[in-house]
Structure 1
Amino acid sequence: MPAGSGTFRRVKSRDLAYVALFAAIVAVLGLLPPVNVPGFPVPITAQTLGVMLAGSVLGAKRGGLALLVFLALVAMGAPLLSGGRGGLSVFAGPTAGYLYSWPIAAFVIGLLTQLFWRRFNLAWALVANLIGGILVIYAIGIPFTSLFGDVPLWASFTGSLTFIPGDVVKAVVASLVAVAVRRAYPVIELPSRRATAS
C-alpha cells in the first residue's frame, strides 16, 4: 500500500462527510415554510442561506458538490425543498432556474472565497456571497421564471427584487459564519506555496 494512501482515504472521507453535512443543512432549512409573494410564482425560502454557507465554508468543489447531491435527492423524489416539494416536476417549473443556479452559485462563492483566502475577512466574505449568492442566482433564476412561469422578463426581474432584502441578510449571516469557521476550524485548506512549487 502506498505510504500516503491512508491519508488520502481520510481526506476523501472527510470531504464526503462535509458534502453530506451541507446537503443536509440545505434540507433542514427547507423545513422553514416558504413565504409566497403575491402575483409572483417563486416563494421566498431560507434554502439559499444553505447555498451561501456551502460555498463560503467548503470552497468551490465541495460546496458545488453538496448542492448537486441535494438536487439529486430532490430529483429522486425526496420532499426536501421548502414546502415539502420534490420530484422531477420541480425542475421544469417557475422555480427551476433558481434550483439550477444553486450548485453554480455555491461553486462561485467558494471560488471567490478561495481567491480571497489569504486576506479573508467579513468584507471579502460578503463580496463573495453577494456575487455568488445573489447575482449568479438571479441571473439564472429570472429568465427561467419568465420562461416556465409565463411571466414577462421585466415582470420576472421586478418581482425578484422582493427577495433582495432577505438575501442580503442571508449573505451577511453566511459571511459571519464563514469568518468564524475560518478562525476556529478552517475547512478550506489551500496548498502551501512549497507544495505548489514542488
Structure 2
Amino acid sequence: MTATAQPDTTPGTGRHDSPGSSSPTRDLALVAAFAALISASAYIGAIPVGSAGVPITLQTLTVMLAGCVLGPLRGFSAVTLYLALGAVGLPVFAEHSSGIGVFTGPSGGYLLSFPFAAALGGFLVAYVARERRTRAIVVFFCSLTASVLVIHPLGILGMMRFFDISFLEAATYDVPFWLGDLVKTSLVAMIAAEVHRAFPQLLHRDRRS
C-alpha cells in the first residue's frame, strides 16, 4: 500500500497552497521585494542624457518587471510603494534624490507614469497574453505597449511642463531613451516568461486551459 502525497494545507482554512499560489503574506512580501528592487535599480547607471538631463537608469526594467511578473494590482502596489518611500524622504530616486520636489522636476512625468505602466503591463500579461505569458515575445509586446502608451507620453508631458516647451521639442528629449528601453524590455520579457513558466499560478489564474 503506497502513500499518496497531499498538497500543503493552510491551517484552519482547508485551503491548498502551491508554490506559485497567492496569500496575503506572500503578496505583501512580493510587493516589498519589488519596491526594494526598483529602489536599487535607480542607482545603477543614472547617466543624464540629452538636453533635458533626465538620467538613464534600470528603473523602467524593474518597474515593468514588477507589473509583468506580479500582475496589475501587485505591480501597481510595488511601484506606488517605491514612489511613496521616495516622497517621504528616502533617497531611492535616481542620483540619490528624494522628496516631493522630484515629482515636479524634469523626470517627474516618468516617475508618475511608472505605477500605471506596471498596471497596464501586468493587465496585458495576465488577461491578454494568458497562457502565452510563458513566451518571451508575447511578454515583450505587452511590456512595450505599456511603455509606449504610458511611460513615454507622460514623460514628455512632464518635460513640457517643466521646461515650458512644445510637445515636439519635449519628444526630441525623449528619443535617447528608446534604444535603452528596447533592450530593457527584452530583458523583462525573458525574465518574466521564465518566472511564469516556473510558477504558472503566480498570477492567480485558476481557469482550466
TM-score relative to the length of structure 2? 0.85
What is the CA-CA distance between 1:185 and the residue it aligns to?
A: 2.6
Distance between the aligned counterparts of 1:33 and 1:63, measured in 2? 23
Tell me which residue corresponds to 2:182: 168
SS state at 1:190 partner = coil
Greater share of helix: 1
Distance between the aligned counterparts of 2:15 and 2:137, measured in 1? 38
SS state at 2:46 partner = coil
Tell me which residue corresponds to 2:35: 23
Structure 2: runs of 5 or more not aligned: 1-10
Deviations 1:135-167 (A, max 9, x none): 310111111111113333211111111100000
What is the CA-CA distance between 1:132 and the residue it aligns to?
A: 1.0
Q: Which amino acid aligns with 2:139?
A: A
Deviations 1:61-91 (A, max 9, x none): 0001100000000100110012101101001
Deviations 1:24-58 (A, max 9, x none): 11011112131111422322111111111001110
Distance between the aligned counterparts of 2:204 and 2:15, measured in 1? 18
- Structure 1 or 2, whichever has the larger Rg, is 2
Matched, 1:39 2:51: yes
Tell me which residue corresponds to 2:207: 192
Tell me which residue corresponds to 1:182: 196
1:52 counterpart (46, 52, 64): 64
Q: Check whether the contact 2:50–2:173 (CA below 8 A) recurs between aligned residues.
A: no
1:70 counterpart (82, 100, 106): 82
Distance between the aligned counterparts of 2:61 and 2:55, measured in 1? 14
Percent sequence identity over aligned pairs: 37
Distance between the aligned counterparts of 1:92 and 1:160, measured in 2? 17
Tell me which residue corresponds to 2:163: 149
Distance between the aligned counterparts of 2:15 and 2:99, measured in 1? 38
What is the CA-CA distance between 1:6 and the residue it aligns to?
A: 7.8
Tell me which residue corresponds to 1:117: 130
2:116 counterpart (92, 104, 109): 104
Distance between the aligned counterparts of 2:151 and 2:50, measured in 1? 21
Tell me which residue corresponds to 2:147: 133
TM-score relative to the length of structure 1? 0.90
Greater share of strand: 2
Q: Check whether the contact 1:41–1:149 (CA below 8 A) recurs between aligned residues.
A: no
Aligned length: 192
What is the CA-CA distance between 1:123 and the residue it aligns to?
A: 1.6
Structure 1: runs of 5 or more not aligned: 194-198
RMSD, aligned α-carbons: 2.1
The structure 1 segments of at least 4 consecutive aligned residues displaced by more than 6 Å after TM superposition are: 5-8
Q: Name the CA shift for 1:104/1:92 in 2 (closer, same or farther; >3 Å).
A: same
Q: Check whether the contact 2:121–2:143 (CA below 8 A) recurs between aligned residues.
A: yes
